[in-house]
A and B are shown apart, each in its own frame.
Chain A
Amino acid sequence: MDMNQYLSMFIDESNDHLQSLNENMLELENNPEDIAIVQVIFRSAHTLKGMAATMGFEDLASLTHQMENVLDLVRNEKLKMQDYIFDTLFKSLDALQSMVQDIMEGGEGKADVTSIVDNLQAIVRGEKPGAAAAASSAGASSAESTLKAALELDEFQQSILEQSIGEGHKAHYIEVSIREDCQLKAVRAYMVFDLLERFGEVIKSYPTVQDIEQEKFDKSFSLYYITQKDADDLQGMIMNVSEIGSAVVTPLDKESLVQLTSSASSQAAATVEAPEAPAAEAAQPAGAAASKPAAAPVQASKEAPAKKPAAGGGTPAPSRTIRVDIERLDVLMNLFSELLIDRVRLEQLAGEIKRNDLTETVEHMTRVSADLQNVVLKLRMVPVDTVFNRFPRMVRDLAKSLNKKIDLVITGAETELDRTVIDEIGDPLVHLLRNAVDHGVETIEERVASGKQETGTIHLKAFHSGNHVFIEITDDGHGIDRERVAAKAIKNGILTQEQANAMSDDEVALLLFAPGFSTAEKISDISGRGVGLDVVKSKIESLGGTVLVTSTLGQGSKFSVQLPLTLSIISAMLIKTGDEKYAIPLSSIVETGLIKRSQIREVHGYKMIPYRNSNIPIMSLKQIFDIPGFDEENEEETEIVVIRKGDRVAALTVEEFIGQSEIVIKNLGKYLPSVEGVAGGTILGDGQVALIIDPNAFIK
C-alpha cells in the first residue's frame, strides 16, 4: 500500500485528535470526576493509536497505547485523576505532538519517550488491586463479557446453536486475548479463525470479522463456535498460535444457553425501558443495534451539559464536514473576482445601451452574483477558534511556570475571519496573551494582599461589528501604571514631560506599542513589558487593523484588536481628480462633504478646516499624487473626503465623487516598489486600472 496518499489525511486527523485531547484534558482538570470526558479522551487516543499503527508509526502508536492503559483504569473508576497523573498525560501529549510534527517534516515520528512510558506504567501498577480483588473483578468481568456477547445473538444464530447441541455437537463460547506487545493483531486473529474453521464453524464473533480484519478491536475478541473437539483441546490449539496471551473456552449446553438468553432478555427489557432511549429504538429487536444507539444518546446528553459551562458561549455540535484544499478555494476566489469585474462592466453597458431586457437580465445576474459572492467569501471564512484553541494550554503552562493561578475564559470562538487574516493573527495574539499572563495578572500573594481572589481571569473575546472583527483580551490584573510608563517613555526620548502631561491615560498606555519603548535598560516593576508589542502593532496594522489599550490601575487592562473581515474584496468610494480615478476604502471614510475655500486656514504651517467642534488637517490629493489636469486653486468650493486612522481624522480634497463600488484588490506587480499612499490597484468596469488609496499613509 502506498502510504503517501494517506499521509496528509493522517496528519490532518492526528492534529484534530491532538487538539481534542488537549481540550478535553483541560476540561477534565476542571471536572476530575466526569467520566464522560474520560471516555471522549479515551476514544480520541484510541483512534489516534489505530491510525498511527496503520501508517506504520510504531512509536506513536505505542505511546498512545500506554496512555490508554491509564485512561482505561480511570474510565472504569479504578483510578482517580490526580495532579501527577494530569502532568504525566500532558507530557505524553507534548511528546505525541512533537512526533506528529516530525512526521509533518518528513521524519518517522520517532522519539525517546522512555521516562514518560515508565511513569504511565508506574501509574498503572500503583493502582493495581490485590490478588483477591483482582480475581473477583476478573470473574465479574468475565460474566459481564459473556452477557454482553450473548446480547449479540439473534434468533437465527441461537437456533443454530440449539440444534447443534441437540444433534450431539459441542458448542463453546471462546474468548481470546492477544499479547500486549503484539504488532500484528489482525494477522494473529486471522490465524485463530483459520485454525477454528478447520475443525468446526464459527457462528458469531464479537467484534465482527470485518472489524477484526481492520484491527478495530483492543486486544481481545470472542466468538461462538460449534465443533466436535473438547474445550481443553481447543484451548491448547489456540494457545499454540504466536502472541496469543490467553484463551478461555467455555462449554455451552442447552441449560446454560437458555440461562444466557434469559439474562439477555432482561437486559434488553431494561434497555428498552431506559428513558433516554429513542422511541424508534424500542421497536427494534433486542441486540447490538438496540443497545448501541441507546448508549450514544446518553453519552451525548452527558457531554453537552459538561461542555456548555466550560465553553461559556456554547460550542456548536460537531457537524459533517469535507476538507477542501485551500488552493482550490483561492482558485475559486480568483475566478469569482473575474466574474465580478465582468458583472460591473455589463451593468455599465446596460446603462449605456438602455435596452430593458438587457437591463433586467443584468439586474438578475447582479443579484445572483451577489449571492454567489457571499457564499464564496464565507467559504474562506474560518472560525477564530482555529487560532484560539491552542491558547488554553498555553495559558495553563505559562501560569504554572510563573506560580500564578489564571483562568482563561473564551467567548465568541465561532466568530469567523478570512483565512488570510487568521493565518497572520496568531502570533500577535500570542504576544498579547503572554503579556497579560506575565505582566497583567499579579502573583497569588499580590492578589491576596490587594483583596482579590487568588485566581486571576483573562477573558479572550471575539465578535463581529459591521465589516470588522474585534478581538479583546481583558485581564483583572493590576493595570498599567501611567506614571511609570510615561517616565520610561521620557527617559527613552519618545516624548517630553510636557507632552506626557497633556496625554490621557489611554494615550499613555498606547506608548507600550511605540518603537523604541523597550531598551536593554529595564525598570523592574514593568520589566519586559512592551517587548515585542511594537511588532504586534505593526503586524496588526499591516493587516489593515488597529490595536487599542485601556487600563485602570489596580483593576486590569483591555487590549482591543480590530481587523477587517477579509482582505480581498472591499467596498470603496470611487473619486475623480483631473483625469485620474482613485478608490478609497469605505472603511477609512468617516464622511464626504463640501467645503468653501474660505474656510481653509493655515495653522502652524498646516492647512486646517473646522470639523465637529475642532480643526482637522486638510490635504490636497492633487498635490500628494501630483495629478495633472485639475486647477484646484480657482475653485470656490471643493469636495472633501474625511478619513480616519484610529481616533485621528483628516480631510482629503478631491474633484468629484463617482460613487460607491465593491472592488477586487490587486497588487501592482512585483516590479514596482511600494508606493506611499497606494495600497494596490483594482480594475474598474471600463477595464482600466484605478489605484487604491491607503489613507493610513496620510495621517501621521
Chain B
Amino acid sequence: MGQELKVIVFKLGSEEYGIDVDKVETIERILPITRVPKTYAFVKGVVNLRGVVIPVIDLRGRFGLPETEPTDQTRIIIVNVEDMQVGFIVDSANDVIDLDTDVIDTPPEVVGGIKAKYLDGVARISDDRLLIMLNLSEVLNKSEIIQLEGIEA
C-alpha cells in the first residue's frame, strides 16, 4: 500500500492531467488578462488576484499543443512552486481525487503530445481513464525555456 495523494484533475483537449493539491492555491474563473510584451509566447500576461499581480501561462502553448479560445469552462489554476506564484490556463478543472501512489507508472516517451520530462508519471484510474501527472518544476523550468527560445531564434 503506497501513499495517498490528493490531486486536482484538469483537462487539456481530451486528455486529463493531475496536480498535487498541496501546490494549488486556488482555482479561478477566467480573469481579465493584461498582455505583457516581449516575453514568452505562452505567457498570456498577468492578472490581478486580490491585489497581487500573477503571471499566467497557457499550458497548451507551453506544451506545444494547439491553442484555443477561452470558454465558460476555462479555468486558471493558481499554483505556488518554488516560491513562484503562477497561473495555468486550462480547458476545465472539475475534479479532486484521491490517488494511491502505487498506481503511478513511469511515463513513456510521449503522452498526449507532451514529453516525458514534464511528467511525474501516469496513473490508470479505471479501465477507460488515464491521468497524466505533471512535474511542475519542469513545467516552469526557465533555463530550458531560454534554450528553446535560443534554438527557435
Contact = CB atoms under 8 A, between A and B. Distances in A.
B53 interface: yes
Given A673-B142, A688-B32, A683 B38 contact: no
Contacts of B142: 671, 673
A687 B53 contact: no
Interface string A117-131: 000000000000000
A43 to B, nearest CB: 48
A403 to B, nearest CB: 52
B135 interface: no
B99 interface: no
Interface in B23-40: 32, 34-39
A689 interface: yes
B43 interface: yes
A669 B39 contact: no
B34 A681 contact: yes
Nearest to A624: B37
Contact of B38 (A337, A675, A688): A675
A668 B46 contact: yes
Contacts of B18: none
Contacts of B48: 683, 687-689
A557 to B, nearest CB: 40
A683 B31 CA distance: 13
* Interface residues on chain B, size class: 20 to 34
A666 B38 contact: no
Contacts of A218: none
The SS class assigned to the B binding surface is: strand
B84 A683 contact: no
Contacts of A156: none
Interface string A658-677: 00000000111111110111
Contact of B34 (A338, A671, A691): A691
Nearest to A682: B53
B128 interface: no
B36 A341 contact: no
Given A668-B53, A668-B55, A673 B37 contact: no
Contact of B83 (A627, A670, A675, A688): A670
B93 interface: no
Contacts of A625: 37-38
B17 to A, nearest CB: 19
A669 B38 contact: no
B34 A690 contact: yes
A688 B56 CA distance: 14
A626 interface: yes
Interface in A311-340: 337-338
Contact of A681 (B38, B39, B43, B46): B46
B54 interface: yes
A670 B37 contact: no
A580 interface: yes
Interface string B32-71: 1011111100010111100111110000000000000000
Interface string B123-145: 00000000000000000101000
Interface residues of A, number: 27
A625 B52 CA distance: 23
Contacts of B54: 669
A678 interface: yes
B86 interface: yes
Nearest to B51: A338
Contacts of B47: 689
B53 A669 contact: yes
A671 B84 contact: yes
Interface hub of A672, A673, A687 (most chain B Cβ within 10 A): A672
Contact of A689 (B34, B39, B85): B34
B55 A677 contact: no
A677 to B, nearest CB: 7
Interface string A615-643: 00000000011110000000000000000
A688 B39 contact: no
B85 A669 contact: yes
Most buried by B among A338, A627, A681, A689: A689
B83 A691 contact: no
A625 B86 CA distance: 23
A683 B51 contact: yes
A670 B83 CA distance: 8
B86 to A, nearest CB: 5
A663 to B, nearest CB: 12
A683 B53 contact: yes
A624 B52 CA distance: 26
Given A669-B84, A673-B142, A341 B38 contact: no
A627 B45 CA distance: 13
Nearest to B81: A671
Contacts of A337: 51
A580 B34 contact: yes
B68 to A, nearest CB: 18
A666 B37 contact: no
B39 A675 contact: yes
A667 B53 contact: yes
Nearest to B34: A689
A17 B140 CA distance: 50
Nearest to A690: B34
B37 A626 contact: yes
28 contacts: A580-B35, A626-B37, A626-B38, A627-B37, A666-B53, A667-B53, A668-B36, A668-B46, A668-B55, A669-B85, A669-B86, A670-B83, A672-B36, A672-B43, A673-B39, A675-B37, A675-B39, A677-B37, A677-B38, A678-B37, A678-B38, A687-B48, A688-B32, A688-B48, A689-B47, A689-B48, A689-B53, A690-B34
Given A671-B140, A678-B37, 14 more contacts: A625-B37, A666-B52, A668-B55, A669-B54, A669-B55, A669-B86, A673-B142, A678-B38, A683-B51, A683-B53, A687-B48, A689-B45, A689-B47, A689-B53
User: Which 8 interchain pairs have the tightest Cβ spacing?
Assistant: A625-B37, A689-B34, A669-B55, A670-B84, A666-B53, A681-B53, A688-B32, A671-B84
